[in-house]
Amino acid sequence: MADILIAMTALGSRDAAVVHVGPLTVTERLDVALASVAVRRGRAKDLVKAAKAVGLPLPAPARYQAGKIFGAFWVAPEMWFAEAPLPGHEEIAALLKAGLGDAASVTEQTDAWVRFDLAAPDLAPLLERLCNVDFPGAPDGHATRTVIDHLGCYLIKPGPGMARIYGPRSSARSLLHALETAAASAW
Amino acid sequence: MTQSHRIEGGQIDRGAVLRFTFDGLPYTGHPGDTLASALLANGVRLMGRSFKYHRPRGVLSAGSEEPNALVELRTGGRQEPNTRATVAELYDGLAAQSQNRWPSLRFDALAINDRLSSFFAAGFYYKTFMWPKSFWEKLYEPIIRRAAGLGSVSLQEDPDVYDKGFLHCDLLVIGAGPSGLMAALTAGRSGARVILADEDFRMGGRLNAETLVIGDAPGADWASAAVAELASMPKVRLMLRTTVVAAFDHGIYGAVERVSDHLAEPLPGKPRQVLWRIYAGRAVLAGGATERPIAFENNDRPGIMLAGSMRAYANRWGVQAGERVAIFTNNDDGLRTATDLQAKGVDVVAVIDSREGGALLPGIRHLRGAEVIDSAGRLGLKSVTVRQANGRTEEIRVDALGVSGGWNPNVNIHSHHRSRPVWDASIAAFVPGADGPPGLLVSGASAGVMSTAGALQTGRDAAMAALGLAGAAPDLPEAEDAPVRITPLWYVAHGKGRAWIDQQNDVTVKDIKLAKQENFTSVEHVKRYTTLGMATDQGKTGNVIGLAIMAELTGRSIPETGTTIYRPPYTPVAMGTLAGRSRGREFKPFRLTPSHHWAAEQGAVFVEVGNWLRTQWVPQAGETEWRQSVDREVLATRRSVGICDVTTLGKIDIQGTDAARFLDRVYANTFSTLAVGKCRYGLMLREDGIVFDDGTTARLGEHEFVMTTTTANAVTVFRHLEFCRQCLWPDLDVQLISTTEAWAQYSVAGPNARRLLEKVVDLDIGDAVFPYMGAGAITVCNGLRARLFRISFSGELAFEIAVPTRYGDALLREMLSRGAEFDPVVYGTETLGVMRIEKGHVAGGELNGQSTALNMGLGKMVSKKKDAIGVVLSQREGLVDPDGYRLVGVRPVDPAGKLVAGSHFLEIGADPVAANDGGWLTSKVYSPHLGCDIALGYLKGGDRKIGARMRAVNLVGGTETEVEIVSPHFFDPEGERLRG
Amino acid sequence: MIIHHPILGPRDAQEFVYLGDAALIDRPDGMTSGIEAFHDYAYNRDNPAGTHRELWFHEQGDRSWLVVTRNTVTHEILTVELARDVARARGRST
């Protein structure tokens, strides 16, 4: 498709960044498509039905839920962010719109965010230096918006020893710097 | 030097030797020492000079309450003034300097102040330096600051970093003495998440300073075992060197952890300190108590210290404060020091007990009903004068005196929500009162429970109550349970000289008397008049004595007199700790535009716009001055084509079946009539009728719009739209999401804009498909989805093209290379500004939060046919004045004349006074197109003054230019170019 | 301060932006109300020492506008409601 134009990552590179600090590995994810899905007035039931048909989970507040193709997390009352593998879902908004019809408002969000996946046996010493989320006390599947280094981010806890951060794309460099310095301080 | 005063015992590691210097002289100590204990071990008693009178001072205490032994620690950028030697943990290589003395600690020239003390009593500054007023700032204050003061700062940048962090727990226990340890054990054993924080580098509190036994083990050993048990619990976090400094609202506590203060320098990447914000379900304050002295004449000499501290130096640090020691006490706790020291073989010469009667201490000269009335020894204590019960005075040769006036519960944190402590006569001290911070319980000595057994019990009970634990309470070990026996004595009335209450601020008994004489009798007035209780120690040792004396002088009881209360922080917090990482280039995060990397390669100059770094201009080889670059960018754009990254403008996706209706409500002009595939300029008002923001909004579908906002207001507009959607019209079918960062957006402007774009787009973008104000989805470069808007901020034929952000860099490079034949320039915010002013578009200088649509010449845009935010109040009498400000263009009569933004309009010949002010120049640029300065401005009745001549007067810069008032549309007023 | 968000539970007040008196929900209708009514709406506020209903926006959260009933003297928070529910209860709709 757009083979003429070469994508640049949020960090100004062609390749995903992988950073190791002590026990922590930070992996930039370039392979995720993202779109917001919001219920139209009075269409909640229709959306639930349509979402089921396309395999889009609609998790409860503060929750992330994985699906076969689409994962999703709650971001606001009656609004979710849907994730899908970028290959095959480059046009995630159009795909979802086709499936959900006029029961939802769908907006492409893929390039609005940079995503960093964090992995370490225990992430608490890192995250307690970054945000006010009670990460050790949060259940698996917890998803919340929080502030990291003044930046509004989404923090997801998919399972033990893992965290996903969606941060504002334009500040990717500042966000990664904050992760690195906090990690150096923590370990 | 040998450690001449080191005795046996103590919790120090004698196997290791630490070297350190004080005022350049070398000494040794051991791990486990504080700077104060190590100096005392080396026989150093003189540690500082007092604040006002430059009196020689030694150490008074063994904790964070220390008023005297303040030193500068470290050197260079790490130099830190006013650190308390009593809590500075010794490390190898530590360098400390005494402060507030010149030329040396032993000989201090300003000790002359002490001789002149009668001039320097309380209120001296207020009375003396009143006149003339202007002398205060320039003359008096600098001199006083030099003479009276604490330590100095290096003025070098601190090389260390400070972190901030967030912790969560069910129970926060403040203080790890017997009560705090018992509370933490009780909570930890129940499975709760517990944080136990203590300011010391060793947990145990007073148990480390006493010889008391708990169960069948020494108290310190019991504490070690308790700490070991707590350390084995995965949900318990032990925080050493961590001071809880504040109780905020709703269970939030502030704490400072000194991660690296006990090291010469922090380990790589590690912070010096961390400021923790602790979210605690409940908290227990087990902060212990602080001993207070008794005021008597010359009670401030080095060698005179608190009795409990003297005991701590002996028991915890293996240090005897002197070779011949006496104790002066009004309570039983002071007697403990005598017994403990004697047991360690220290020569306890006498115990001066102000109380009559009672049991005699065996084997010690115990003088009952006696008082210390004076002392001698210029740089250190040589003797004390004792007045015995029978009135006889006697000089006793001692080099150390331990004083105990009783113990004050550390209620500070309990007062942080303005709870007033209440007087407990049974222990002669203030204890926590009602209405403390919700969720905070107090136990042990902080609660006025002074025995070890009481501390353990109240600690356990507080934890159980805090967590609502049912069932059997954990057993308590046996411990000392002595009652408090005290007969208050605040100051010794005998003696004519000065008796010190607040040693940090050099406040004496006489100062309190003077305050009373001048009718400053309320505790708050006493504090401010005498400075009692100010500065780094916040009166931890002196406050209660001061107000007790005031009570006595005024014939009131202590409860009637009352007490001042405490604010955060409990102990001083360094500014660097509060700043955290937010300093220098890390003050805030940056936002980079999609073209940032390309621009950086070109050597572009960037400007900070909020957090964004935007290209300001892009210099080319040979351009040495910014105007050369900007003029070239403007002319090249108007001649052929220019590209500008406008990604920073806010973009908000607005969908829903009521989206058009919603836009009609939030914009002053109408959007429901906008056709799909078109965009329109929108003017957004605040409810008070003032212009809030502007931008273009495109209709991409029947129920789908994309709004743009100014860069500065992207966040506030979004917030406002959510307010309108949720609070004003909750049932409108509207969904909002920001897409600012999702799309890289470029403005392509100039006569060749379309031709250049045709090189990259896949479809026809001719005038028929994309007429002026057309908008829609297209594809570029062989299929990449994109959006195209035919809008212009420059007055040129112009488009804005958007692609997914990750392709923004490539699209720019592609446009430049494919369109090379048109010699495109990339322009920055300066050129953007020049072209919009040439075209008369309003921006920052005009959207100043004070101006209406009418002021901007946009009054006709405000539709009165519908209800929209701000429309009603925009029609207020004061805002529709025909003589009010109107946007005008301004050019100098002499084309070489200079304009200055901010200059005021004056009629020719009018005096430059406010009454003649006609308005001001809001924005000014040099127009390379017109070859002169041009400006926009708000001029009273300006729409009727086109063609008039006025003066633009800048009184600040002292310039004045004769100007002609013109239409704000300097360039292509008919708009032929942008429709072309 | 901690605000007990009706959907998300306890959240630090640092995540919110404060607007002011919840009376801002009661916006007059622009087609039927005059300048006087809007003047009251835009400018006139009570300034109670005690219970105060006020609007907070969860900007660094789920973007909900909340009505927080707070004691301005003690900072005690008595109730927290979604502003949208409050607006509907006060008869606001479209």
Give the DSSP per-residue string, B696-753: EEEEEETTEEEEEE-TTTHHHHHHHHHHIIIII-TTS--EEEE-TTTEEEEEEESTTH
Q: At what angle do helices B178-189 and B219-231 cross, to 10 degrees?
A: 30
- Supply the pTM of this predicted model: 0.95
Which residue, among A110, A121, A97, has the nearest Cα to A38 in the 3D structure? A97
CB distance A63 to A44 below 8 Å: no
Q: Does B164 touch chain C (CB under 8 A)?
A: no
How far is the C-alpha of B593 from the C-alpha of B741, rounded, in Å?
A: 9
Decide if B730 and C33 are in contact by the 8 Å CB cutoff.
no
Quote helix, strand, coil % in chain B, to nearest 5. 25, 30, 45
Q: Does A9 touch chain C (CB under 8 A)?
A: no
How far is the C-alpha of B854 from the C-alpha of B879, rounded, in Å?
A: 8
With residue B146 as reference, give the H or E element that holds it: helix B141-147
Q: In degrees rounded to 5, what are phi and psi of residue B608?
A: -85, 120
Q: Does B688 touch chain A (CB under 8 A)?
A: no
Q: Which residues of A touch C14 (CB under 8 A)?
A: 132, 147
How far is the C-alpha of B304 from the C-alpha of B511, rounded, in Å?
A: 21
How would you class A71 by CB atoms within 10 Å of its CB: exposed for 0-12, middle for 13-18, buried for 19 or more? buried
Question: H helices within B556-625, ranges in order?
Answer: 558-561, 575-579, 596-601
Query: What's the pLDDT score for residue B106?
Result: 83
- A161 to chain B, closest Cα gap in Å: 17
Q: Which residues of A touch B611 (CB under 8 A)?
A: 171
Q: C-side interface with B, Cβ within 8 Å?
A: 1-2, 12, 17, 19, 24-25, 27-31, 33-35, 38-39, 41-43, 55, 57, 59, 63-65, 74-77, 82-84, 86-88, 92-94
CB-nearest to B589 from A112, A129, A174 is A174
Decide if B723 and C65 are in contact by the 8 Å CB cutoff.
yes
Neighbours of chain B (3+ CB pairs under 8 A): A, C
Q: Which residues of C touch B417 (CB under 8 A)?
A: 74
How far is the C-alpha of B734 from the C-alpha of B722, rounded, in Å?
A: 10
- C92 to chain A, closest Cα gap in Å: 15
CB-nearest to C57 from B438, B688, B719 is B719
Which residue, among B199, B197, B167, has the nearest Cα to B181 in the 3D structure? B197
Decide if B591 and A134 are in contact by the 8 Å CB cutoff.
no
Q: Which residues of chain B have pLDDT under 70?
A: 1, 119, 124-133, 136-137, 140-149
Neighbours of chain A (3+ CB pairs under 8 A): B, C
- B276 to chain C, closest Cα gap in Å: 14
Query: What's the pLDDT score for residue A1?
Result: 47
User: How many beta-carbon contacts under 8 Å exist across A and B?
Assistant: 149
Decide if A77 and C62 are in contact by the 8 Å CB cutoff.
yes
Q: Does B810 touch chain A (CB under 8 A)?
A: yes
Give the DSSP per-residue string, B382-445: -EEEEE-TTS-EEEEE-SEEEEE--EEE--GGGGTT-PPPEEETTTTEEE--SS-STTEEE-GG
Positive or negative, the CA dihedral B662, B665, B669, B672 is positive
Q: Which residues of A touch C63 (CB under 8 A)?
A: 76
Q: Which residues of C touch A62 (CB under 8 A)?
A: 7-8
Query: What's the pLDDT score for residue B129?
Result: 62
Decide if C14 and A147 are in contact by the 8 Å CB cutoff.
yes
- C89 to chain A, closest Cα gap in Å: 18
Among B134-143, B184-193, C24-33, C44-53, the minimum mean pLDDT is found in B134-143
- A152 to chain C, closest Cα gap in Å: 6
At B687, list the tokens: 């409810």
At B380, list the tokens: 């250190």
A-facing residues of B in 150-169 (CB < 8 A) are 161, 163-168
Extended beta strands in B131-228, E state: 162-174, 194-197, 213-214, 217-218
Whether residue A77 is preceded by a cis peptide bond, meaning omega within 30 degrees of 0, is no
How far is the C-alpha of A60 from the C-alpha of A73, rounded, in Å?
A: 8
pLDDT in tens, chain A (187 residues): 446 899 999 999 999 999 999 999 999 999 999 999 999 999 999 999 999 999 999 999 999 999 999 999 999 999 999 999 999 999 999 999 999 999 999 999 999 999 999 999 999 999 999 999 999 999 999 999 999 999 999 999 999 999 999 999 999 999 999 999 999 999 9
Decide if C7 and A152 are in contact by the 8 Å CB cutoff.
no
How far is the C-alpha of B552 from the C-alpha of B561, rounded, in Å?
A: 9
The alpha carbon of C8 is separated from its chain's Cα centroid by a whole number of angstroms, namely 17
At B606-638, the pLDDT tens digits run 999 999 999 999 999 999 999 999 999 999 999
The alpha carbon of B169 is separated from its chain's Cα centroid by a whole number of angstroms, namely 24
Q: Which residues of A touch C62 (CB under 8 A)?
A: 61, 74-77, 145
Residue A38: closest CA among chain B residues belongs to which residue?
A: B735
CB-nearest to B269 from A131, A134, A184 is A184
Positive or negative, the CA dihedral B769, B772, B774, B777 is positive
At A23, list the tokens: 């026990």
Place of tokens 């500075």: B88
Q: In degrees rounded to 5, what are phi and psi of residue A31?
A: -105, 25
HSE, side-chain direction, 13 A CA sphere, residue B429: 27
Q: Does A144 touch chain C (CB under 8 A)?
A: yes
Q: Which residues of B touch A132 (CB under 8 A)?
A: 166, 277, 279
- A95 to chain C, closest Cα gap in Å: 25
At A112, list the tokens: 């609005």
User: How many beta-carbon contacts under 8 Å exist across A and C?
Assistant: 30
- C91 to chain A, closest Cα gap in Å: 17
In this prediction the ipTM stands at 0.99
Decide if C94 and B732 are in contact by the 8 Å CB cutoff.
yes
B58: Cβ contacts below 8 Å, ≥ 6 apart: B45, B46, B47, B48, B68, B69, B301, B302, B303, B304, B305, B380
Altogether, the residues listed in chain B come to a count of 980
CB-nearest to B814 from A5, A42, A132 is A5
Which residue, among B722, B616, B686, B614, has the nearest Cα to B850 in the 3D structure? B686
With residue C38 as reference, give the H or E element that holds it: helix C35-43
CB distance C41 to C27 below 8 Å: yes
CB-nearest to C60 from A76, A77, A145 is A145
Q: Which residues of B touch A10 (CB under 8 A)?
A: 805-806
